[in-house]
Structure 1
Amino acid sequence: MAEAETIQKTGVIKLRVRLILCLMIVVLVGGTVLSGCNFGSSGNNSSSTGAEDGAGSDAAPKQILNMIEGDEISTLDVAKDMSAVSANAMNSLFDGLFRYNDKDQPELALAQEYKVSEDGLTHTFILRDAQWSNGDPVTAHDFEYGWKRVMQEKGPYISLFELASLLNVNKILDGEMKPDDLGVKAIDDKTLEVKLSVPSPMLEMLLALPIFMPHNQKFVEQAGEKYGLEYDKVLSNGPFVMTDWKHDQSWQYKKNDRYWDAENVKLEEINVFVVKEGSAAVNLFDTGKVDRAVNLSPFDVTGYEGSEHFIKMATTSNSFIRLNPDFAPFKNENIRRAISMAVDRESLTSIVLNDGTIPSYGIVPANFAISPDNMYFRDVNGDLSKDTKEEAQALWQKGLSEIGQTKLEPTLIFSDVDWSKKTAEFLKAQLEKDLPGLTLKLKTVPHQQRVKQEKAFEYEMSLSTWGADYNDPTAFLDMWVTGRAANRMKYSNPSYDELFAKSTMETDPKKRYDMLLELEKILIKEDAALVPLIQFGNLILKRSNVKGLIEHYSGIEYSLKWAYIE
């Protein structure tokens, strides 16, 4: 669901000169001074795991966590955006009806209990006693207002409301009804009624996402257009509050003493620094200035293999090439299929990237979304876009003949981050060699510019990314329904749309899963609509005495609620 410029991949521009100078100091004098960079907390430039202050080895460690994110928060307004970094922040600042646990499953949060009608269409939630960080009570009215506000704003991830099958959502989007007609109603301060158009097998999983968090109407309206854009223009009801935000540099959380579950929150302070270069992140980790470093390459972590501080994990984020049918040659199925079949994904992942990334031959990632028969989706559906170079070349020549051309010169746009540059350069060299007559022009653009061009269909080929916000294949299959905001490719197949609609209403898990398998086959095997490329890995440095920090495999990237310093 979310645009997946993942944490380890998110460097978009060069580090600020000020940060570079500070890191030069680290190299020159062994990291003994970093006060000019404001690393550390509350004027103290040592991390939570740094040298003792004379209290003795048995002194309780300060519950202060210093960590790195690979990019800036875009907004804290859940109705406007939900990028990976923003979603991580929202997960620390807000609580919804549910929250993801250490098994990536939803558990009750602000809802202390709920019941479902026999037909599965009415869900009634009873809220626990909770407060906003300003002392206002969190009520069912906050959920009703928040969800209807999302419908009013029509943000980029409103399709999650469709996937949840909220009553009247499609008619509201089509302009036949108003946001006030959405199937959510506060019966009283403690009782929230949610009505669906059809039973939704994923409702609980979706309700744990930031877009379903409550909004304090009075605060939102007072903040106006600045809501969610500054630390004092956001109101929390989650485990932490934001107490500082220096844009493109850092932000700070402190424990929310008004949080309903505050007794289980151990961290008192969290300092997050925006560092977009892996080498810079490792320098800060090496010198004890941060406790968790991301945005790393294999070169950055040389020497950490086998270390208790080193985490190497798969992700559910992937990269693929969008093919714009407005570029006439891409209307030809054999041209599209030949390009996909010709890509040497094994060489790209093992030689060029070599960071735990693996080849991808479908849109749904590996080791993801277990079937009713206890098998992963990718294992069941197999490799849908894998054939020999010779077969790809035969289809290529057939396609060129069908369109009456002997050569093609499409332009590939890609974000200005390291992995993306390496991938684009590899694709140019390899495809031009194996597909005679192809000249692949390369154009680097900032990440947000790439997304903007995709939305406007102002591209021919785009090296795109996507990541799962919940543990279900629809996180990758929903986006190709005709007219979906995330489609960005004008892909439209009535059979696909009809089958997807049926899958959202199917309550038999086996039948539903079979439908989802068939949807991917239509998209990749039958239509060759796009070019699957790679599934990202993730390299993380985290101090071994940082406990309880959950690294999620899908959905939110991590949770800080239960973290503590041992």
Structure 2
Amino acid sequence: MKYSKIAVSLLSVAAAALLTACGNQQSSSEKKQFSWSTGAELSTIDMSKASDTISYDQLRNTMEGLYRTGKSGKIMPGLATSSTVSKDGKTYTYTLRKSRWSDGSEVTAKDFVYSWRRTVNPKTASEYAYLFEGIKNATAITDGKKPLSSLGVKAVGKYKLVVTLDRRIPYFKNLMAFALFFPQSEKAVKKYGSKYGTASKYMLYNGPFVQKGWTGSNLSWKMVKNKYYWDKKNVKVDQINWSVQKTPATAYNLYQTSKLDAFSLDSSQTKQLAKKSGFQLVNNGGTAYLQYNLQKDKNLANTKIRQAISMAIDRNGLCSTLGGNNKAAKTFTASGLMHVDGQEYTSGISSASETYNQYNPKKAKKLFKEGLAELGKSSITVSILADDTDNGKKTVEALQSELEQNLGNIKVETLTVPFKTRMARREAGKFDIMLSTWIADFNDAISFLDLMTSSNTRNYGKWKNSEYDSLIAKSKVTASAIERVKYLQEAEAILLKDEGITPVYYMTTAYLIRPSIKNVYNDNLGGWQFKYAEVK
């Protein structure tokens, strides 16, 4: 999500007319269906190119890999019926069950090999290719130094997949439940060419549902039960109607008239509806943070300026404004994501490194003046980019007010744009400060910390620190679990002290889900799972 993986959930007025009422009084002859909402436009369903939670919500329910994620990130069975691991932990052998694509053709081990090679292929330019690091030759392939055929994955017959690693990967099983590692149909990719994954009809699916009706730009679509899914007997819902909305009040009105069955709440709704049946608080395993464009804005390249900005933010006050159960963040890694010998991972990060991520307007103003003096300036202007969602708008408005009030000689401009537009600006480096969110792809701090290495494609602000890079590299090769965690915590301490990014809050979202919708669950990594959903 894990966004950046963005975890928001709402529905647009334009899409409202297209929603099919769930109708809690469905007869046995009617379709079992319900309507769900998401907070931003769907950008792609090409798993090699997807990079956000909205896309991955579609993929985790229309596609399937070796495993699935269950409640609280628990690993559940997928296409792998069994697996073995070599004594040195570097070779995994999976036996696959017989299954089919949505056109009736077989899913085989070759589909995994093709999918993985496609993602690490430099020509694909996958933002997520770095997650293949550790699989034999993956990094050399993405660097253009070795051929795709050298990737450490091979098919042995139709139903056996063998994966070879360069080193042990402690979280490898968790990776296999992430949609990036699911199979893809080579036939479909070649048939649709550049259109692959850009609309519902330009795909083949092998998961519980098949997507229908998404054209690539519209704000409503649906998931329909996949008649070829190997475990279709346990899929109890015929159809899920999806739409996009950015207006919470409209979503609630649709909910009240049974035209919408689930939506995320804004701050006022969270307070008003907390005792209503169907109210849920979901821990997203994510962090909202500020990313600074150090390459574009030389003012922000000054460490004291970044530290001052961080200390000028009243995170507790902001969380109160946003509602829900968000908590002020002092670390990049989400709180509660990872535990080591019974201790929460973030508790082992040096408290001194968190100093600059606590509200202290007096010290913030002093640091800001020192930073301006180092720059030889009396004032600066910065712009904050964010999504045009309710949370996005409220957050940047609060930041604008606090920074200008607490720092003095700074002018803060705000720019809120549609999600897809923000992603485009992010990738083009067209921002000063960007409000981002990241949801872990699996339950490990490396899912966050990898992002800020100097070579990572998702390090959009181009922050660099050689000691940080070295510690992350050491964490990946050590055979000691204790040493590994130590390296990760030391690296995060460097990131926090230097304000490579500024953590703002740990993400928890409040939802209202119609009580008649059963067995829908969130994996606490920002993802909704509908395989076992029922309408009672």
Task: For residues 195-227 of structure 1, give each alpha carbon's deviation from its aligned partner in whole angstroms, at most 9, with x where no partner exists.
Answer: 111111111111111111111112221122222
Does the alignment pair 1:506 with 2:478? yes
CA distance in 2, matches of 1:482, 1:120: 28
Task: For residues 49-102 of structure 1, give each alpha carbon's deviation from its aligned partner in whole angstroms, at most 9, with x where no partner exists.
Answer: 1x466xxxxx69853222222233222111121321111111111110111122
Does the alignment pair 1:104 with 2:58? no
Question: Given that residues 201 and 507 in structure 1 are in contact (C-alpha distance below 8 angstroms), is that contact kept between their aligned partners in structure 2?
Answer: no
CA distance in 1, matches of 2:369, 2:267: 39
Give matches, 1:489-504, under 5 Å: 489-504=461-476
Question: Given that residues 64 and 269 in structure 1 are in contact (C-alpha distance below 8 angstroms), is that contact kept between their aligned partners in structure 2?
Answer: yes
CA distance in 2, matches of 1:319, 1:229: 28
Q: Figure out how many residues of one structure are paired with residues of the other and give that number.
A: 527
Question: Given that residues 130 and 139 in structure 2 are in contact (C-alpha distance below 8 angstroms), is that contact kept between their aligned partners in structure 1?
Answer: no
Question: Given that residues 468 and 494 in structure 2 are in contact (C-alpha distance below 8 angstroms), is that contact kept between their aligned partners in structure 1?
Answer: yes
Does the alignment pair 1:457 with 2:429? yes
Superposed displacement of residue 336, structure 1: 1.8
CA distance in 1, matches of 2:284, 2:399: 23
Question: Given that residues 503 and 515 in structure 1 are in contact (C-alpha distance below 8 angstroms), is that contact kept between their aligned partners in structure 2?
Answer: yes
Question: Given that residues 342 and 392 in structure 1 are in contact (C-alpha distance below 8 angstroms), is that contact kept between their aligned partners in structure 2?
Answer: yes
Question: Given that residues 239 and 561 in structure 1 are in contact (C-alpha distance below 8 angstroms), is that contact kept between their aligned partners in structure 2?
Answer: yes
Does the alignment pair 1:39 with 2:8? no
Amino acid paired to 1:422: K
CA distance in 2, matches of 1:253, 1:447: 22
Amino acid paired to 2:162: E
Superposed displacement of residue 345, structure 1: 1.3
Distance 1:442 1:293, change over 3 A: closer
Amino acid paired to 1:91: R
CA distance in 1, matches of 2:372, 2:270: 45
Amino acid paired to 1:440: V
Task: For residues 421-474 of structure 1, give each alpha carbon's deviation from its aligned partner in whole angstroms, at most 9, with x where no partner exists.
Answer: 222222222222221322223333433333333333333222222221211111
Identity percentage over the alignment?
30
Task: For residues 370-392 of structure 1, give each alpha carbon's deviation from its aligned partner in whole angstroms, at most 9, with x where no partner exists.
Answer: 22x21222333354522632222
Distance 1:533 1:201, change over 3 A: same
Question: Given that residues 48 and 291 in structure 1 are in contact (C-alpha distance below 8 angstroms), is that contact kept between their aligned partners in structure 2?
Answer: no
Superposed displacement of residue 172, structure 1: 1.0
Question: Given that residues 329 and 503 in structure 2 are in contact (C-alpha distance below 8 angstroms), is that contact kept between their aligned partners in structure 1?
Answer: yes
Amino acid paired to 2:181: F
Partner of 1:125: 94
Does the alignment pair 1:308 with 2:288? no
Amino acid paired to 1:4: K
Distance 1:111 1:256, change over 3 A: same
Amino acid paired to 1:374: G
Task: For residues 139-170 of structure 1, give each alpha carbon's deviation from its aligned partner in whole angstroms, at most 9, with x where no partner exists.
Answer: 111110111111221212112112xx111111
Question: Given that residues 48 and 66 in structure 1 are in contact (C-alpha distance below 8 angstroms), is that contact kept between their aligned partners in structure 2?
Answer: no
Pick the aligned partner of 1:549 from 517, 520, 526. Answer: 520
Does the alignment pair 1:229 with 2:198? yes
Question: Given that residues 82 and 210 in structure 1 are in contact (C-alpha distance below 8 angstroms), is that contact kept between their aligned partners in structure 2?
Answer: no
Does the alignment pair 1:409 with 2:384? no
Once superposed, what is the RMSD of the aligned Cα atoms?
A: 2.2
Distance 1:562 1:331, change over 3 A: same
Task: For residues 265-312 of structure 1, give each alpha carbon's deviation from its aligned partner in whole angstroms, at most 9, with x where no partner exists.
Answer: 211222222223211211111111222223x21334564221221112
Partner of 1:32: none
Amino acid paired to 2:132: F
* Rg larger in structure: 1
Superposed displacement of residue 500, structure 1: 0.6
Task: For residues 102-123 of structure 1, give each alpha carbon's deviation from its aligned partner in whole angstroms, at most 9, with x where no partner exists.
Answer: 2312233101111111111111
Distance 1:131 1:263, change over 3 A: same
CA distance in 2, matches of 1:84, 1:72: 11
CA distance in 2, matches of 1:458, 1:52: 49
Distance 1:272 1:324, change over 3 A: closer
Does the alignment pair 1:562 with 2:532? yes
Distance 1:537 1:454, change over 3 A: same
Secondary structure (helix, strand or coil) at the match of 2:447 reads: helix
Partner of 1:257: 227
Superposed displacement of residue 561, structure 1: 0.6
Partner of 1:329: 299
CA distance in 2, matches of 1:108, 1:80: 25
> Comparing 129-138 with 242-251, which one deviates more in the overlay?
242-251
Does the alignment pair 1:362 with 2:341? no
Amino acid paired to 2:429: F
Superposed displacement of residue 494, structure 1: 1.4
Secondary structure (helix, strand or coil) at the match of 1:328 reads: coil
Partner of 2:144: 175
Q: Which runs of 5+ in 2 are unaligned?
A: none
Give matches, 1:281-300, under 5 Å: 281-294=251-264, 296-300=265-269
CA distance in 2, matches of 1:218, 1:175: 25
Amino acid paired to 2:274: E
Distance 1:288 1:450, change over 3 A: closer
Question: Given that residues 315 and 328 in structure 2 are in contact (C-alpha distance below 8 angstroms), is that contact kept between their aligned partners in structure 1?
Answer: yes
Q: Which runs of 5+ in 1 are unaligned?
A: 23-36, 41-45, 54-58
Give matches, 1:399-478, under 5 Å: 399-478=371-450
- Tell me the TM-score normalized by structure 2: 0.92
Amino acid paired to 1:380: G
> Comparing 393-402 with 496-505, which one deviates more in the overlay?
393-402
CA distance in 2, matches of 1:531, 1:281: 32
Does the alignment pair 1:138 with 2:110? no
Partner of 1:340: 310
Partner of 2:5: 4
- Tell me the TM-score normalized by structure 1: 0.88
CA distance in 1, matches of 2:404, 2:272: 37
CA distance in 1, matches of 2:18, 2:461: 44
> Comparing 302-311 with 177-186, which one deviates more in the overlay?
302-311
Distance 1:379 1:545, change over 3 A: farther
